[in-house]
Amino acid sequence: MSEPDKQLLIGIVGACGSGKSTLAANLEEHGYHCRQIAQEHSYVRHMWQVITDPDILVYLQCSFENSTARRKLSWLRADHEEQLRRLSHAYEHAHIIIDTNVLSQNEVLARALSFLREQIK
The 10s digit of each residue's pLDDT in 28-66 is: 999 999 999 987 767 777 888 888 899 999 999 999 998
**Residue 92 burial class via C-beta count within 10 angstroms: exposed 0-12, middle 13-18, buried 19 and up:** exposed
**pLDDT score of 1:** 43
CB atoms within 10 A of CB 55: 14
On the question of pLDDT at 3 being above 70, the answer is no
Domains of the chain, by residue range, sit at 9-120
CATH code for the part of the protein at 9-120: 3.40.50.300
- Nearest in space to 21 (alpha carbons), one of 34, 8, 32, 6: 34
Average pLDDT estimate for 18-26: 96
Quick one: what percent of the chain has pLDDT higher than 90?
A: 65
Chain-wide mean pLDDT for the chain? Answer: 89
**pLDDT score of 114:** 97
